[in-house]
Amino acid sequence: MRWTVGVSGPPKTLDDLRREMEAAGLHPGDLLTDGQIHRCPSDGDKGSKKAGWYVVYVDDMTCAAYGCWRSGLRETWCSGGAMGIAERHTFDQRVAKAHEARELERQQKREDAAAMAAARLNQAENATDDHPYLTAKKVTAYGLAEHRGSLLIPMRDADGKLWSLQFITPKGDKWFLPGGRVAGCMHWIGRPEGLCYLVEGYATGATVWAATGRPVCVAFDAGNLPKVAAALEGRGLSLVVAGDADVAGRTAVERTGLRGAFPAIEGQDWNDVGHEQGLEAVKAGLEAGSPAQRWRLITPEDAISQPAPPKWLVRGLLEQAVVADIFGASGSLKSFLGLSVGLAVSSGEPWFGRDVDQGAVAYLAGEGHRGVRRRVKAWSVKNGPIGRFFTASGALSVMDNEQFALLIEGLDAVHKAHELRLVIVDTLARWSAGAEENSAKDMGMFAARLDAIKDRYGCAVVVVHHTGHAHGERARGSSAWYGALDASMRVERPDGNKTAANVHCEKAKDAEPFESFSFSCSVVDTGWVDDEGAPSTSLVVDSVGDVGVAPKPKGAALGKLQKAALAMLAELLRRAQKMQEARGGVGAPPGVDLQTWRREVSASRQAWAAMLEALCGRELVRVDNGLARLTETGWIVAGDMPE
């Protein structure tokens, strides 16, 4: 307990105490000074709950203690002057006795409520399945009573003692018996044995029971889940939480320390899933999300038998139903690699000799959507039809509940019409807006959302990601991201080669790591023209080989002036882009004035002319109406390809 005594200055008043309590998030109103513990509202209270408390004693000086049962806050206060050791000891004893008296009073109220609950049950009749709440939720009555139109759900402790009741009106309003115990109380559907599901509300529990046939324990609300889990510890049960897909539900499951299974759509519970998709979907979702159901001890015979071979999406490179990433530095061609793999899967064409499992692909680009269309078109010009290849119209944040639900809605539509085999998220940063990449908690939640996508559709999810600034050989951000992955590929460009890259296997959880390889890209004319009438081109992955074998760009290496000029043009274009966005403009800027570019490069007229001719001749720079801009290949060579 922290004391606020011994402070010089004028004596404090009850108004000072009230202000200090309000600063701590408590709202006592008019303070009572009778030496009894009183409840008061606190920040974070829900409904009529009051988690705050205080006790005030008035003697030679006014002393008080206050706190919050929910947050654990506990402070003491004195009106003035320094309190001696003996006085402090006496005050501490008074506060302790007040808490004891409060607890005795509370326990008596619980016993009275338990007696009232038993009397109400004796007066009530067994509930029938046609109760309006049950019919609305499409569930059956299991161990429920009905009295004066409301459902009565018995609330018992782990030993079966009745403590209170939950009432549910025909409209679905819920309340507990006043003064009754809630903490650690539960209602069982089925006999508790073996694998059991722990849920928040009755409707969810009845749905899970109907779908699985396994015993279900109803904890009544998210806050009570950890307390019920603790009460059932050591009773020989294998508990899995069938949680609600919201922040409160996930937080509660984390506090239980148990395995949890959640609906894929944020904001839903398993009763919602049953309504929309049927009981088979509930059962499948729980089994997919509950590792406890798949856990077993492997027999000696099984331990030495040949395991099932991996199921490949792209043979030897990417397995089915995994979460993986492709990471590399800016301009490393990692997006081109991901796009090439995705188009091979959607078209059914082998990826450079590796067979694919054909199916629909959703490519979720976070930026440069016109550029993505150009890249897809260039691939189709070189390789043929693209198959069922779907692209996003813009970026969403999977960290946002509403936006994640919108994403699931779109993926559901694709999966229903065409079996979804692969989802490519490009990039992690753009699709995790609002998350802190260095936060293990945020990256864990991001990974959990991708796992939900994987489990919902049985598809692979590949995330395009960047390397860290200080460590080019690992992905940026928290190590929790790497730990959550099933597979990881690192892409790096060899020195002096701007259209080729090496790929290394950094992680393969269940399959043999692939041997490092290289790939190269070539420029393909899409057949389109830009707004100036110039041909529109893009890079396409066109060959794969051993590391270091991929061909280098045609022509001699860039000279020092050419490199400097290219880098400066890239910088000027980035500045122009920022200025345009600041003015509310969209799209890429038309280009940089040639004279502006030349002033920044500081080259002689002859050197400038030779440099410009060389860059344009190698299709790295395009000049129209006195404005210069980089081609897609030019961005790559400049080392800053927008991905």
What is the reported pLDDT for 464?
Answer: 95
The model's pLDDT over 28-67, given as tens digits with 9 standing for 90+, comes to 999 998 888 888 999 888 777 788 989 888 876 788 889 8
Q: How far apart are CA 360 and CA 415, in angstroms?
A: 8
Q: Regarding predicted confidence, which is higher, 310 or 283?
A: 283
Lowest mean pLDDT: which of 141-145, 249-253, 389-393, 536-540? Answer: 249-253
Q: Regarding predicted confidence, which is higher, 529 or 150?
A: 150
Please give the backbone phi and psi of residue 270, each rounded to the nearest 5 degrees, phi first.
Answer: -70, -20
For residue 627, list its beta bridge partners. 593, 624
Whether 16 shows a pLDDT value over 50: the answer reads yes
The percent of residues above 70 in pLDDT, for the chain, comes to 87
Q: How many other CB atoms are found less than 10 A from the CB of residue 293?
A: 17
Whether 550 shows a pLDDT value over 50: the answer reads no
Provide mean pLDDT across the span 564-584.
80
For residue 475, list its beta bridge partners. 467
What is the reported pLDDT for 11?
Answer: 67
Please give the backbone phi and psi of residue 393, each rounded to the nearest 5 degrees, phi first.
Answer: -80, -15
What is the reported pLDDT for 291?
Answer: 43
The model's pLDDT over 403-449, given as tens digits with 9 standing for 90+, comes to 888 898 899 889 888 889 999 999 898 899 888 888 888 888 898 88
The model's pLDDT over 54-107, given as tens digits with 9 standing for 90+, comes to 988 887 678 888 988 777 788 888 876 555 666 666 777 777 777 677 677 777
Q: How far apart are CA 127 and CA 120, in angstroms?
A: 13
The model's pLDDT over 488-536, given as tens digits with 9 standing for 90+, comes to 999 998 766 778 899 999 998 878 889 999 999 988 989 888 766 778 8
Whether 549 shows a pLDDT value over 50: the answer reads no
Whether 233 shows a pLDDT value over 90: the answer reads no
What is the reported pLDDT for 346?
Answer: 96
Burial of residue 306, with CB atoms counted within 10 A of its CB: 0-12 exposed, 13-18 middle, 19 or more buried: exposed
Provide mean pLDDT across the span 234-251.
86
Cis peptide before 391 (omega within 30 of 0): no
Whether 343 shows a pLDDT value over 60: the answer reads yes
Domain 560-637, architecture per CATH: Orthogonal Bundle (1.10)
Whether 115 and 179 have beta carbons less than 8 Å apart is answered as no
What is the reported pLDDT for 265?
Answer: 85
User: Domain-by-domain residue ranges, the chain?
Assistant: 14-83, 119-294, 312-546, 560-637
Q: Is 76 helix (H, G, I), strand (E, B) or coil?
A: strand
Q: Which two tokens stand for residue 393?
A: 């119209």
The dihedral built from the CA positions of residue 315, 320, 322 and 325, taken in this order, carries a sign that is positive
The CATH code for residues 312-546 is: 3.40.50.300
What type of residue sits at position 479? S
What is the reported pLDDT for 84?
Answer: 62
What is the reported pLDDT for 641?
Answer: 44
The CATH code for residues 119-294 is: 3.40.1360.10
Whether 270 and 199 have beta carbons less than 8 Å apart is answered as yes
pTM score, whole prediction? 0.51
∠ CA 363-466-383, rounded to 5°:
40
CB proximity list for 612: less than 8 A, separation 6 or greater: 565, 594, 621, 623
Under DSSP, the state recorded for 514 is P
